[in-house]
Amino acid sequence: MQLEIVPCRSCPLRELKTFARNSDAQLAFIQALKKQEVNLKRGEQILPEGGRTGELFTLLFGMAFRYRTLRDGRRQILNFLFPGDLIGLQEQIAVNSPHGVESLTDVKLCAFAGENLWELYRQHPRLGYDITWLAAHEEHIVDDNMLSIGRRTAIERIAMLLIHVFKRAEQSGLSSDGSAPFPINQQHIADALGLSLVHTNKTMRRLEKLGLHRIENNRLRLLKAGVLQRMADYFAMPLRARPLI
Amino acid sequence: MQLEIVPCRSCPLRELKTFARNSDAQLAFIQALKKQEVNLKRGEQILPEGGRTGELFTLLFGMAFRYRTLRDGRRQILNFLFPGDLIGLQEQIAVNSPHGVESLTDVKLCAFAGENLWELYRQHPRLGYDITWLAAHEEHIVDDNMLSIGRRTAIERIAMLLIHVFKRAEQSGLSSDGSAPFPINQQHIADALGLSLVHTNKTMRRLEKLGLHRIENNRLRLLKAGVLQRMADYFAMPLRARPLI
DNA sequence: CGGGAAGTTGACGGGTCTCAATGGCCGTGG
DNA sequence: CCACGGCCATTGAGACCCGTCAACTTCCCG
């Protein structure tokens, strides 16, 4: 729990060209919606799987992931979350949270009261439209991952994941000097790609020997992005400026 | 192309308890948005993969599926579509349609002009909220499928798919006397579950021998739904009435 | 120095894939 | 009426990708 709260107006995310600008009126409304700022450590639960918090978050800093598990413990990571991503929208719709969200790094979250979501649509339809944008965009990412898990080979999946994480980190301002933070261990990768831990390790070692990328000190660097893209048949689409709530 | 157009007010879908009621004003607005009714045969493209139509549809009757393909032809079915489902929302957000949509049966569609989507949010925030609801609900279904493909065994995946299709057909008024239409062949199942055609066939024969379900004349009947559910560790959540645009 | 988390490696078995061939059903045309 | 082709389901054989089990190493941190 942090004492000083950053006003939305001067939110550092809003300086990135990734995000669309908002009017002063919209910013004031978003500011009013904001309940508090939450800081969590790496490895904490942001949303409990199957639980209900009634809260809606925007990830301000750090990385996280959405996941679901079967009763015997098999876990599937649905997608990774980056600054600007909305957390908890599905809970506003289903009665219980169908998935969990866990932090991958220390994170900073902006917390809204979920009950106010409808007010947002009523008073600022444009922001409602933006939320739909974010929901559809996240679904698009899940679609990508599903194509991967269903139809790509292990090495293609890993290549795809590396490109995806790199691009998203770059867009959300987490990268610097050509390398992106990579707080994702091999168990995470296995769970995200539908592979076993052991096979993930062997495949990553194989890919590493090709010299297309490098992971050092929890940072990822793509050395031959073009080759990786062709290997995975994966080309992240360019995006117009995305909304930020 | 059909001559007589059903007024939204007397749309047969609206009689199902699955769908939430709308006010007269909302109905009038939806009606005004409606551009035309489209009828397509089984196996036709509703949305081209990678193309752009600018249109938004609601599926009124029949079944379809969303899919993506890799360049060498490997195909992944992302989810199946039932009456009441929205088609083409992602295209309103990305520049090009990232996925294709193809009909599984003869279908009837309600076509809207995509450009009017923003007007809908502006004039009827409640309907905007409903569209977010539909987007989040579809993402939830994709999440389900992803858990399946990533972490369930072949036989569990098929059990899960049978339950899922049965439930959704039931909710959308396609079922009768305890059986649901099943216009899905083994190639579709394979592509939906990330399996090969041959292995899908062998696994389905194995499941069939257990006597938990029956597929005859393109209709599906669940004989021991409870056993199937436990086998797949899959329990479709009860839903509140869903919106219909 | 001890202990736990994460990464690495080998051996082995099995689930799933590919290739190939066959049979059933059905609409079309001779 | 029958022959034919096309789509779909089915089945067997063999290969390989990937999962499981188990052991070991490395690194980090207390």
Question: What was the pLDDT predicted at B6?
Answer: 82
pLDDT tens by residue, B97-127: 889 999 999 999 999 988 889 999 999 999 9
Task: Decide: B69 and B78 in contact? Cβ < 8 Å.
Answer: no
pLDDT tens by residue, A65-97: 999 999 999 999 999 999 999 999 998 887 788
> C21 C1' – B198 CA distance, angstroms?
13
- Residue B129 near chain A (CB below 8 Å): yes
Is A17 near strand C, with its CB below 7 A from some atom of it? no
Closest CA in chain A for residue B240: A94
| Residues in contact with A163: Cβ distance below 8 Å, sequence separation at least 6, in sequence order | A222, A225, A228, A229, A232, A234, A236
Whether the per-residue pLDDT at A239 is higher than 90: the answer is no
User: d(Cα B24, Cα A108) in Å, to the nearest integer?
Assistant: 44
Query: Starting from the edge strand earliest in sequence, which strands make up the sheet with B86-87, in order?
Result: B34-40, B107-113, B55-61, B86-87
Average pLDDT, whole number, for chain A?
94
Average confidence (pLDDT) over B2-29: 89
Q: Is the overall model pTM greater than 0.85, yes or no? A: yes
> C19 C1' – A150 CA distance, angstroms?
21
- Please say whether the dihedral angle defined by the alpha carbons of residues A200, A201, A206 and A211, taken in this order, is positive or negative: positive
pLDDT tens by residue, A14-54: 999 999 999 999 999 999 999 999 999 999 999 999 888 88
Task: Decide: B64 and B106 in contact? Cβ < 8 Å.
Answer: no
Q: Is B137 in Cβ contact with A135 (below 8 Å)?
A: no
Among A57-61, A135-139, A156-160, B32-36, the minimum mean pLDDT is found in B32-36
Question: What was the pLDDT predicted at A3?
Answer: 52
CA-closest candidate to residue A133, choices A245, A12, A13: A245
Q: Which of B121, B146, B151 sits opposite A70 (nearest CB)?
A: B151
Task: Decide: A155 and A231 in contact? Cβ < 8 Å.
Answer: yes
For residue B14, give the DSSP letter: G
Smallest Cα distance from B41 to chain A, Å:
26
Average confidence (pLDDT) over B170-174: 94
Here the tokens at position A184 are 């994702």
- Residue A199 near chain B (CB below 8 Å): no
Protein-proximal nucleotides of chain D (any atom < 7 Å from a CB): 8-13, 17-22
Average confidence (pLDDT) over A5-20: 92
Here the tokens at position A43 are 């490895």
| Residues in contact with A230: Cβ distance below 8 Å, sequence separation at least 6, in sequence order | none
pLDDT tens by residue, B27-65: 999 999 999 999 999 999 999 998 888 889 999 999 999
Protein-proximal nucleotides of chain C (any atom < 7 Å from a CB): 6-11, 15-20
Give the Å distances, CA to CA, from B172 to A150, A154, B56, B136.
Answer: 27, 37, 20, 18
Give the Å distances, CA to CA, from A143 to A188, B124, B233.
Answer: 19, 29, 22
Closest CA in chain B for residue A237: B94
Whether the per-residue pLDDT at A1 is higher than 70: the answer is no
- Grouping H, G, I as helix, E, B as strand and the rest as coil, residue B12 is helix
Q: Which of B89, B131, B145 sits opposite A146 (nearest CB)?
A: B145
pLDDT tens by residue, B193-236: 999 999 999 999 999 999 999 999 999 999 999 999 999 999 98
Confidence class of residue B2 from pLDDT cuts 50, 70 and 90?
Answer: very low
Confidence class of residue B3 from pLDDT cuts 50, 70 and 90?
Answer: low
Roughly what angle, to the nearest 10 degrees, separates helices A186-193 and A154-171?
A: 110
Side chain identity at A25, as an amino acid letter? A
Question: What was the pLDDT predicted at A94?
Answer: 79
Average confidence (pLDDT) over A147-157: 98
DSSP B102-155: EESS-EEEEEEEGGGHHHHHHH-HHHHHHHHHHHHHHHHHHHHHHHHHHHS-HH
Is B21 near strand C, with its CB below 7 A from some atom of it? no
pLDDT tens by residue, A171-226: 999 999 899 999 999 999 999 999 999 999 999 999 999 999 999 999 999 999 99
| Residues in A touching B89 (Cβ below 8 Å) | 132, 136
Residues in chain A: 245
Question: What was the pLDDT predicted at B54?
Answer: 85
Average confidence (pLDDT) over B166-174: 95
User: d(Cα B115, Cα B134) in Å, to the nearest integer?
Assistant: 19
User: d(Cα B187, Cα B185) in Å, to the nearest integer?
Assistant: 5
pLDDT tens by residue, B61-108: 999 999 999 999 999 999 999 999 999 999 888 778 889 999 999 999
| Cβ neighbourhood burial of A162 (10 Å; 0-12, 13-18, 19+) | buried
- Residue B131 near chain A (CB below 8 Å): yes
Average confidence (pLDDT) over A135-164: 98
